[in-house]
Structure 1
Amino acid sequence: MARTEIGRREFLKAVGAGAAGSLLASAAQDRSRGPTRPNLLFVFADQWRAQDAGYAGNADVRTPHLDALARTAVNFRNAVSGCPVCSPYRASLVTGRYPLTHGVFLNDVLLNDDAVSIAQAYSRAGYDTAYIGKWHLDGNHRSAFIPRDRRQGFAFWKALDCTHNYNNSFYYGDEDVKLRWEGYDAIAQTREAQRYIRERATGKPFALFLSWGPPHAPYHTAPEKYRALFDPESLAVRPNVPEADRHKAREVLAGYYAHIAALDDCIGDLVATLSEQRIAENSVFVFTSDHGDMLYSHGHQKKQQPWEESIRVPFLLRYPAALGPGGRTVDMPINTPDIMPTLLGLCGIDVPATVEGTDFSAVVKGQSPVPDSAALISCPSPFGQWSRKIGGREYRGVRTERYTYVRDLDGPWLLYDNIADPYQLTNLVNRPECARLQQRLERLLAEKLAETHDDFRSGWDYIKQWAYEVDDSGTVVYTN
């Protein structure tokens, strides 16, 4: 795929007074103290869907810090997790490649070192690189020590492959010594990120990745002060949640929102630290998530699935030195493989030839869109929480600014108008009155598959091709 700079901008105005004031007060000092290239602070949660933030219209969640960030950031309203599950997202983030290229289309398989990673690209440009939190790219030994040669070029390291025991959470540094995060791990990891920022505020530019485990299940393990904020009976559920599931959905949402409230405070702390260190203006700050969570919408749970609750993620990007202190909204979709080239483009770093995603840094800066831009969405092989026995299936689709179109191995499966039908209650696939639209989206999907060399076969074929060991559901069996 060509890595041209394309895209669309629209606007979301109104600067948050506190955040904007801090930025403007330190702006002149930032210019004199900051490095020529911007720092990067990339923060991402696990399973935080786009719909669940105050700025996105959810009146039940408590996200004041995130809402303030949105008022000063570029908001990619239709950001997509192209293969919406943990390890595939992370492999695409780190390499800028699609799942059938890097091979991580299942959880708990090892990411190879065939590509120039995002950490290697930043390091070659003179950056310090760091990773804190959940990794989930080291195969099926989730609690094992990860040596330096399997860290994809990240220098500073305080991480564990995967855990969701947020109050008894461990990590490793450079030695094979298991260490424990104190208390709720996302807060402890945020404190470590703040310490890292303070220690490097006046040195070389840094690229710091902070990966939180929440709000992924278990949903009811946030600190008590956050859990006390949410009464299940007072919470609204989305209109696409079946009546029979509404009580269960409210119970889950209360815990999910508690995790989100805790993470929102962490976001506020990180923003404050950048301002305190007078590097806010010359820092790219990204907040996003690896995928969403169905939370009983359409009667489904978890991720991997092609509906909005699973594929759409928050994506806020703030870079005051280049973009100014105000915010705006971009409606054009951005996909996971596009993140690496876009960030490199913003930082003035050449995009490696191994990258397949598109550099949208010009879009971030305000360039007009290319018509019919679309994000490829896929499930190369269903597994785990969306196995075939509960309805999981292989699919390929496109998410455009307005439409979602999806095929499975048997043919066209889903077609939604996400503007007229934001909860995807009416499937328009194969309707005579939508024939021309469906043909256009089918052509667009065919183009995407050709660009990514995706021949859309059975998932079992890809498992055999990559020689992965799985159980009879197609799931890698991990060890703790």
Structure 2
Amino acid sequence: MSKPNVVFIMTDQLRADCLGYAGHPDVKTPYLDTLAARGVVFDHAYSACPSCIAARAALHTGMEQSHHGRVGYEDNIPWNYEHTMAGELSKAGYYTQCVGKMHVHPLRNYLGFHNVELHDGYLHCARYGSVPYRESQFIADDYFHWLKQELGTNADVTDTGLDCNGWVARPWMHDEKYHPTNWVTDRSLDFLRRRDPRKPFFLMASYLRPHPPFDAPQYYFDLYSSRKLRAPFVGSWETDEYLKANGRIFDSKTGPSDPELIRQAQIGYYACITHLDHQIGRLIMALIEQEVYDNTVFIFTADHGEELCDHHMFRKSRPYEGSCHIPLFITAGKNVLPDIKSGSSCHSIAELRDIMPTLLDIAGAEIPSSVDGESLLPLTEHPDLTQRTWLHGEHSYGEFSNHWIVTEKDKYIWHSQSGREQYFDLASDPHELNDLISGQEHQDRIAELRSCLIESLKGRPEGFTDDVRLIPGRPYPPTLPSAVLP
């Protein structure tokens, strides 16, 4: 049997619950719902280091964060990994193409892909001043280059006045066909047109949205602007200290303090998601029309979530569900993966590091010994099985720096600067409204999860533990020595 084609749909900053198939009461995603219904949904998938660079390091290398060395957000650190997802698939006979976001360094580092058509969105480090390798987004980013060709040399995504990390929302100012979400689909369709039909292909359609700016076309804003939307979740343990201090700052780590601006952020975020869904629908239809859908495996996920004003916070990097819980499903055409249990859910803990070994398993390729992740392919046949019972997550994030252990039913959090601990019973409290860290009935379980974290942190250069207890206040840089390779 010939190797299946693979379409890997990657999104940015899409939280797990903001999809129709996940039961969200407001967000509409009919095409993704269709794909999910035909495959296996991994409803306990997480991003162990939930921000763009660190999450993508896990994705592209299959390594856990202490091995790939990126435990926070830091630009301009070269990516020099021996084994990568695309590199190994290329060795296995696939033609490998990425369209959209890579967020690596240097910008045109292909990480083993045969070709990359790049759009990383607005990256501050590559937009002003000099950068290593003398790269600039104005030159290196294919979408920005194309947009200037189409609309003139002064055309730029910043014409909306929106920032790439802010909660301000407004509709896209140009025709929809010029939107970066449409561009990723357009270039993916062009790849399908010009591919060699004799070779299996791996297409990574890497969409930037719904990462800010929240600038979907007007049609998608109109879908949500008159709806009554579910309010953000705010835990009884949270205070409004940071909201009072920063709730008027558009790019702060908190959400806005103005309820109307919260609503506008939700409208903009949901609009970007439905716009994304419809563009994925275009891609699906093209695969059907070109008669390759039935021979294709689909994987869908995101690099991390978006807090979207839950617990008064915005963006990602924190240990709560809106930030670190991500969507993930695997779907296959009728001629491939014949034993997949379509229409089922798997509750085993999954992580981005599992994507690379899953793809190599699908391709029948050898999985390098450097890979820490586990193939999810067996779970598509037996979704009732459990491969990973707990996961260690973390993020270097200043005073919000954190480590956490999550299982199918609960979560333990340690704030590494202050030493504060939290415990949530996710089975009964999926939105983390009640912190049970002080409850006597949970102390044995908390001690068990704390011991898992101590075990995970043994030998780390930061000195978070003496192998017996956790030690707060240790220096916690976003990059470990293991990330700086020759």
TM-score, length-scaled by structure 1: 0.78
Contact in 2 for aligned 1:77/1:314 (Cα 8 Å):
yes
What is residue 85 of structure 2 aligned with on the other side?
Answer: 118
Q: Does 1:229 align with 2:223?
A: yes
What is residue 94 of structure 2 aligned with on the other side?
Answer: 127
Contact in 2 for aligned 1:164/1:213 (Cα 8 Å):
no
Q: Would the alpha carbon gap of residues 172 and 203 (structure 1) be closer, same or farther in structure 2, given more than 3 Å must change?
A: farther
Q: Does 1:53 align with 2:19?
A: yes
Q: Would the alpha carbon gap of residues 177 and 431 (structure 1) be closer, same or farther in structure 2, given more than 3 Å must change?
A: closer
Pick aligned residue for 2:405 from 398, 404, 420: 398
SS in 1 for 2:206: strand
Residue 101 of structure 1 and its aligned partner are, at CA, apart by 2.1
Q: Would the alpha carbon gap of residues 118 and 453 (structure 1) be closer, same or farther in structure 2, given more than 3 Å must change?
A: farther
Q: Would the alpha carbon gap of residues 230 and 205 (structure 1) be closer, same or farther in structure 2, given more than 3 Å must change?
A: same
CA distance in 1, matches of 2:29, 2:447: 41
Counterpart code for 1:420 = S
Q: Would the alpha carbon gap of residues 289 and 171 (structure 1) be closer, same or farther in structure 2, given more than 3 Å must change?
A: farther
SS in 1 for 2:322: helix
Counterpart code for 2:86 = A
1:284-329 C-alpha deviation (Å, 9 max, x unpaired): 1111111111111111111000000000111121124214583211
| Comparing 405-414 and 57-66, the one that deviates more | 405-414
Q: Would the alpha carbon gap of residues 136 and 464 (structure 1) be closer, same or farther in structure 2, given more than 3 Å must change?
A: closer
Q: Does 1:63 align with 2:29?
A: yes
Pick aligned residue for 2:450 from 416, 422, 442: 442
Deviant stretches of 4+, over 4 Å:
169-174, 241-246, 450-455, 463-469
Counterpart code for 1:109 = N
CA distance in 2, matches of 1:303, 1:418: 19
Identity rate of aligned residues, in percent? 30
Counterpart code for 2:50 = P
CA distance in 1, matches of 2:6, 2:392: 26
SS in 2 for 1:131: strand
Contact in 2 for aligned 1:287/1:314 (Cα 8 Å):
yes
SS in 2 for 1:426: coil
| Equivalent runs, 1:209-228 vs 2, <5 Å | 209-219=204-214, 221-228=215-222
CA distance in 1, matches of 2:451, 2:426: 19
CA distance in 2, matches of 1:85, 1:440: 27
What is residue 152 of structure 1 aligned with on the other side?
Answer: 111
Contact in 2 for aligned 1:396/1:456 (Cα 8 Å):
no
What is residue 348 of structure 1 aligned with on the other side?
Answer: 364
CA distance in 2, matches of 1:224, 1:65: 20
Q: Would the alpha carbon gap of residues 89 and 232 (structure 1) be closer, same or farther in structure 2, given more than 3 Å must change?
A: farther
Give unmatched runs, 5+ long, in structure 1.
Answer: 1-34, 140-145, 470-480
Q: Would the alpha carbon gap of residues 433 and 372 (structure 1) be closer, same or farther in structure 2, given more than 3 Å must change?
A: farther
Q: Does 1:40 align with 2:12?
A: no
CA distance in 1, matches of 2:289, 2:460: 44
1:262-291 C-alpha deviation (Å, 9 max, x unpaired): 100011112222222222222111111111
Residue 451 of structure 1 and its aligned partner are, at CA, apart by 10
Pick aligned residue for 1:327 from 343, 355, 363: 343
What is residue 192 of structure 1 aligned with on the other side?
Answer: 187
Q: Would the alpha carbon gap of residues 53 and 468 (structure 1) be closer, same or farther in structure 2, given more than 3 Å must change?
A: closer
Contact in 1 for aligned 2:6/2:202 (Cα 8 Å):
yes
CA distance in 1, matches of 2:13, 2:354: 19
Q: Would the alpha carbon gap of residues 468 and 121 (structure 1) be closer, same or farther in structure 2, given more than 3 Å must change?
A: closer
Contact in 2 for aligned 1:48/1:313 (Cα 8 Å):
yes
Contact in 2 for aligned 1:120/1:153 (Cα 8 Å):
yes
